Amino acid sequence: MLGQAYDGRALINGSRVHAQDGQTFDCISPVDGRLLTTVARCGQADVDAAVAAGRAAFEDRRWCGLAPAARKRVMVKFADQLLAHADELAMMETLDMGKPIRYARSVDVNSAANCLRWYGEAVDKIYDEIAPTASTALALIQREPVGVVGVIVPWNYPMIMAAWKIAPALAAGNSVVLKPSEKSPLTALRLAELALEAGIPPGVFNVVPGYGAEAGSPLALHMDVDCIAFTGSTRVGKQIHVMAGQSNLKRAWTELGGKSPNIVFADCPDLDKAVEAAVGSIFFNQGESCNAPSRLFVEASIRDQFLEKVLALVPGYAPANPLAPDTVMGAIVDQTQMNSVLRYIALGKQEGAALLAGGEQALLDTGGCYVQPTIFAGVTPGMTIAREEIFGPVLSVLSFTDTSDVLRQANQSIYGLQAAVWTRDINKAHGVARALRAGTVHVNQYDEDDITVPFGGYKQSGVGRDKSLHAFDKYTETKTTWIRIDSPV
Ligand code: NAD
């Protein structure tokens, strides 16, 4: 499908609509700089319309009033719709944000579909509770949908980030207003069309593309939104909590940045596997992953040997055309993000880190946004590239002497999303895993991932968890109903 055919209008109350003031913004592909389409630049009036549609749907119970088994059937159909349109969605995602088509197809589409299916399948298998009170009363503890859920997502995994929130929110019976990133709005709009085709009633799932300040803030500040679920930067995440407090104290959940430490001890059971994971995980998705292990800590005694193996793998990640089937490293999402990555690389050099590979923009003649896979060694904890999230293909390698030294360095971060430890010593593995302040700790691997496990961070990596049954907590209220029992006996 040609990019020009993409429909960039919002989807509100079951219909594709222009922004009420007719404003649009350009959707440019980072693959080659071409204009893909123009997209509705939604603002307050459009957000108001979408929230009103969501509220009306919630009030007349067209969705939340269905039996869980009925919602399940629709959610499963929604998942099937994604798979039936997998090639189209993968192409759209790749053109819009630059990731290799092989991963857009095998990871993003499949993972989003699996998430929709899993929450759909779960919702008719969850029971409410009866509290163990005295026999003169019956106390029912029931889950109810919160109402209208605002969802704001970033651009790095547009479909997956949206699915992690809309799947549990919709399955639980809520209405949703989704604001995708202005850098990658297209698949969210298409998902909402597929949801309608699957049988999600009009008004239940609305999408308002636009800029953060113009469409995101009105959603976070809206007096008729009951919950805001946000994934993005820590900077904006903090504002989301403020906006929730300034308005109606809506429930606010945030999945934010990371600077994950990856710790390799000299007794690592398989150095080659550790090297592959260290390199593959930082360069996957062009380094634009919140959980990318961007700080690699190598025990001093194996540092040189490890670095040699790392450098040998780097050429295999040279950026290439994201539409080519064997490409593993694609384009950075846009010029602004590419310039930000290049600025961090310049800072790394200025502050005295040793640039061992990459460091430059690549494929300039394409008109797209590409950066070479970049490795810095000799990084110390105070350097900017060791502290701040770069969100690009840049690995900072640090060194340590013993366990207490590395724990001190690893936990010296405002973030606490993920971490990894490589050792054959089971005591050390458990001890370090316990001491690391992170939502997820990997032991002797970095790629395990499943919808059944919670995902989220400690510290300034956010509040709340996506994925797993725990995610339902975010989109449901707990209601207690006391019933007095005047026992005849
Ligand atoms: P961002 O914070 O700039 O934007 C995220 C979303 O918020 C976008 O839709 C944007 O339009 C919107 N937004 C921006 N300003 C806003 C405002 N004032 N009010 C309301 N909404 C606003 O982040 P980004 O650059 O799109 O994404 C990268 C960040 O996302 C990284 O920090 C990354 O670590 C994080 N991330 C976290 C997770 C996680 O699960 N923890 C997953 C993916 C990405």
Calculate the alpha carbon distances from 213 to 172, 216, 239, 250 in Å.
29, 6, 11, 18
- Where is 462: in which H helix or E strand? strand 462-463
374-377 vs 354-357, strand pairing mode:
antiparallel
Mean pLDDT of 145-162: 98
Quote the percentage of the chain above a pLDDT of 90.
98
Mutate to test the pocket of ligand 1, among 161, 165, 231 (most ligand atoms within 8 A of CB): 231
Mutate to test the pocket of ligand 1, among 97, 153, 164, 181 (most ligand atoms within 8 A of CB): 181
Token reading at 229: 């679920």
Contacts of 327 (CB under 8 A, 6+ apart): 100, 101, 102, 319, 320, 321
| The pLDDT of residue 223 is above 80 | yes
| The pLDDT of residue 4 is above 60 | no
- Where is 299: in which H helix or E strand? strand 295-299
| The pLDDT of residue 447 is above 90 | no
pLDDT, tens digit (0-9, with 9 covering 90-100), for 10-22: 999 999 999 999 9
Mark 456-468 as b/e (b = at least 16 C-beta within 10 Å). Answer: bbbbbbbbbbbbb
**Alpha carbon of 93 to ligand 1 centroid (Å):** 17
Lowest mean pLDDT among 117-126, 302-311, 397-406, 480-489: 480-489
Mean pLDDT of 261-274: 98
Per-residue pLDDT at 5: 79
The DSSP result for 127-191, as a single string, is --EE----TTEEEEEEEEE-SEEEEE--SSSHHHHHHHHHHHHHHTT-EEEEE--TTS-HHHHHH
| The pLDDT of residue 3 is above 80 | no
Mean pLDDT of 142-171: 98
Which of 242, 70, 219, 250 is closest to 146 using CA atoms? 250
Contacts of 251 (CB under 8 A, 6+ apart): 146, 226, 227, 228, 244, 474
**Alpha carbon of 483 to ligand 1 centroid (Å):** 45
Judged by DSSP in three states, 16 sits in strand
Q: What is the chain's mean pLDDT, rounded?
A: 97
Residue nearest to atom 8 of ligand 1 (CA): 181
Single pTM value for the model: 0.98
Give residues (CB < 6 A) around ligand 1. 152-156, 161, 179, 181-182, 211-213, 216-217, 220, 231-233, 236, 239, 255-258, 290, 389, 391, 417, 457, 461-462
